[in-house]
Structures are given as C-alpha cells and as structure tokens.
A and B are shown apart, each in its own frame.
Chain A
C-alpha cells in the first residue's frame, strides 16, 4: 500500500533558527496536506498543495510540492516558541481512494528560547 515517509523524526532548534521537514510518498499523489499538532492536542490543517511544483507561503511557513507530486517540504523561517509541535504531511493518492489520507510519521519540533 501507499507509504509516506517523513524526516527528520525530531528537530531541536534555537528560537530564530530555520526548520525544514521533508515528506516522500511511495506513489504519485493527487494532493498533499500538512497538519500541525500541538502537544496534547489534535491535528489541525495548515495547507493543501495540488499542483506539480506548487509553492505556497503562510507568513513564515513555506510549503512546496515536488514536480513529480511524490515529495513535499515545509520550511519555517526564524522559528518561534509558538511553532512547537508535531508537523505531519498527509498524502491523498486520489482515484478510488479519494479523500483517504496517509499520514507521515511526523516531525516533532522543539524550540529553545
């Protein structure tokens, strides 16, 4: 079945440093979504990428979708303590499994003030 790999598993940064997490799917995706889960909380949707090579920005967050629609990345510029949490990518293979997301293992981000 479809697999979504995400690295790194953990990332510790000093406040103000940048952070990047990478996501790779075993199959071509229809779209990819990113979620953030704060400690003790539930996953919350951040963004969706649909087009090959798409780049989207949300303030200090930049999301990219690869040309082959099999990989993606999330980059945070100048991290803040409010960025702490686990970041998940989730791939939708589309077709007969439309709407079904396969989540990566997540990257746990800690930010030291």
Chain B
C-alpha cells in the first residue's frame, strides 16, 4: 500500500484565496483525521470522520474551514478565504476501526498564505 497520500505537498497562496487540500486514506481504513501543526500550537486535531461521516469538528477554527469526505477514498479540507494565520503544515491521518490501533499520517501539506 502507498500509505496516506496528500496533495499538494506545498501550497503558496495569497490572502483571500481559496485553498483546497486533498487526502487519500489507506484502503480499508474507517477513520480519517485532519490535523494542523504549527510551532505555537503544536499538533491540533481539526476534524475526524468515521465511515465518511464527520464525528467531531470541534477543532475546526472557524467557518472559513470546511471538510468533506464524499467517499471512503477521498477527503478535502477547504479554507475560504485564507488568511496568513492559516499558514501551517496540514496532516491527514487514517486508521482502521479495530480497537486500539495507531494512526498513519500522510506526508503533510505545507501551506503558506502571504
């Protein structure tokens, strides 16, 4: 298996633009997580899905952020409009539904908003 796939790996955009980050989880994994990592705030969980259904979005910073999982093999995280404070590395992770199982992280998308 190729592992969790994220695209793009790097994104540079200007304030006010829409940004869409993409994730393909490992096949057969029931859970998908979106995290944001910054030096100041560390690794924060934004939202997670179970069987394509959003379970907990309490970490989504504000209405500018939205996430979807239209099927078991694809998820998007969208920021509209983007702001400089959104600059961070965004990780997608997936895991199976088996109890006590680890999360597998993708390589991340480094987002810079100018």
Query: Are A and B subunits of one complex?
Result: yes
Q: Report which A residues bind B (CB closer than 8 A).
A: 1, 31, 33, 41-45, 48, 50, 88, 97-106
A100 and B43 in contact, given A43-B91, A45-B102 (Cβ under 8 angstroms): no
For chain B residues 18-39, which have a beta carbon within 8 Å of chain A? 31, 33
Chain B contact surface mostly: strand
Q: A33-B103, A43-B105, A97-B56 are in contact. List 8 more A-B contacts (CB 8 A).
A: A33-B102, A43-B43, A43-B91, A44-B105, A45-B103, A100-B55, A102-B45, A106-B42
Q: How many A-B residue pairs have CB under 8 A?
A: 46
A97 to B100, CA, bound (A): 13
Task: Kindly identify which residue among B100, B104, B107 contacts A31, using a CB–CB cutoff of 8 Å.
Answer: B100
By a beta-carbon cutoff of 8 Å, the part of chain B in contact with chain A is 31, 33, 42-45, 48, 50, 55-56, 58, 91, 93, 95, 99-108
Q: Which one of B42, B58, B104 has the highest number of Cβ atoms from chain A below 10 Å of its Cβ?
A: B42
In contact, B105 and A103 (Cβ under 8 angstroms): no
CB neighbours of A103 from chain B (8 A): 42-45
